[in-house]
Structure formats: C-alpha cells, structure tokens
C-alpha cells in the first residue's frame, strides 16, 4: 500500500488547516487511482495515517471530500489562466501562455486534472455545475482580452473564448495521453493554430 500522505505517526495532532490539507492529499491519491465510486473512506483514512473518526470530523462524507478537491483544483486552473493572461501585454504571447497554462495543469503532479476533466461524477449536478463554472471563468478571462483588443462584439468574444478553452483542454489532454511531441513543442503548435485564427480580426495591439 502507498505510504500515507505527509506521513506522521497515527494520532499526531496537526493544526486544522494542515490536517485538512493532509486529508485532501490522501483523498486525491485514492480518487485518481480508483475513481470516485471505487474509493473508500477507510482507504483514504489509512492513506492519510488517521482514524476514520478524524476523517469524518473534517469531512462528513466522500462527496464532501471530492467537492473540496474539485473546488481546490478548479480554482488553481482559473488562477493559472489569469496569471498567463497577465504575464504579458503581447497578444501572441498571451495565446501561448494561455495554452501553456492548460498543458501545465494536465501534466501537474498528482493528476489533479482528472478530478476536473475526467470525473466519474460529471452527471452529478454539483460536480457538473462546478466544472462548467470553471470553463466559463477561464473563458471569461480570455473573452475580456478579446473584447479589449479586437473589433468583435461581446457575444462573438464569448463564443471565441469558449472555443479557445475547448481547444486548450482537448489538445492538452490528448497530448498527455498520447505523447509523441515534447510538451513545449505541443504548446507552441496549438498556440500557433489559435493565433492564426484570432489574429484574423482587427487587433488594437499585436
């Protein structure tokens, strides 16, 4: 069995925030390895090196654990996208940075992207709403740049941003599962495709 996350002797008292972080890390390992339905609270507690009562003190059930992880990693993806768009004023480089954010997310440690993009709970309203919200928030960030720096309408900017987010997510996930191209080359290739499309509109800045 995999060693407990942040291994400590069972019973060691941790500050609440640190304990929560430890439990979420253990839950992520189990959810990614087994999927939500096959994951068991017993195994999560064992992986974290705590008793089940300690786990239940922090999370009433498995769904609450999953939703907490989904919230954590959804927010991380949105922040990666925000940082990418704010990293430069050059629109071409913004496109590159935006795609890099998705490639970085899917290739990140712990396979957190599976919780956001490949959940076996996608039909559950709370999960579906959160994943859709994450997509929309990333698209809104991109759409705002498009609105500011092109001649397109708000509605057109929104549709274009949804298309770019879909391209970024799909291409990054495909690259991760199939490989064959180095990460940087893959990022540049897809970003070049996107730039050739978006730069077809009149730009106020290059």
From the candidate CATH numbers 2.40.10.10, 1.10.357.10, 3.40.50.1980, 2.30.29.30, the one assigned to the domain spanning 67-197? 1.10.357.10
**What residue spans define the domains of the chain?**
15-60, 67-197
Res 53: pLDDT: 94
Res 6: pLDDT: 44
The architecture CATH gives domain 15-60: Orthogonal Bundle (1.10)
Domains 15-60 and 67-197 belong to one CATH topology = no
Mean pLDDT estimate for the chain: 89
State pLDDT tens for residues 101-145.
999 999 998 888 988 888 888 889 999 999 999 999 999 999 999
The answer to whether 18 and 56 have CB atoms below 8 angstroms apart is: no
Query: Among 6-15, 177-186, 196-205, whose mean pLDDT is lowest?
Result: 6-15
State pLDDT tens for residues 30-82.
999 998 999 999 999 999 999 999 999 999 999 999 999 999 999 999 999 99
């Amino acid at each position: 069995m995999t060693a407990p996350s942040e291994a400590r002797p069972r019973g060691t008292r941790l500050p609440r925030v640190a304990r929560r972080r430890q439990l979420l890390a253990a839950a992520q390992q189990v959810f990614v390895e087994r999927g939500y339905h096959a994951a068991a609270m017993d195994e999560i507690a064992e992986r974290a090196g705590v008793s089940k009562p300690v786990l239940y003190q922090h999370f009433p059930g498995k769904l609450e654990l999953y939703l907490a992880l989904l919230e954590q990693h959804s927010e991380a993806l949105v922040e990666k996208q925000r940082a990418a768009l704010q990293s430069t004023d050059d629109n071409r480089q913004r496109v590159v940075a935006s795609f890099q954010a998705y490639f970085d997310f899917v290739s990140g440690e712990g396979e957190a992207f599976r919780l956001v993009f490949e959940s076996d709970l996608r039909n559950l309203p709370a999960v579906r709403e959160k994943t859709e919200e994450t997509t929309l928030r990333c698209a809104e960030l991109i759409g705002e740049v498009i609105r500011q720096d092109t001649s397109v309408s708000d509605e057109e900017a929104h549709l274009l941003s949804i298309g770019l987010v879909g391209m970024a997510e799909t291409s990054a996930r495909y690259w991760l599962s199939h490989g064959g191209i180095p990460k940087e080359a893959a990022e540049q290739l897809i970003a070049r495709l996107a730039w050739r499309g978006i730069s077809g509109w009149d730009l106020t800045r290059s």
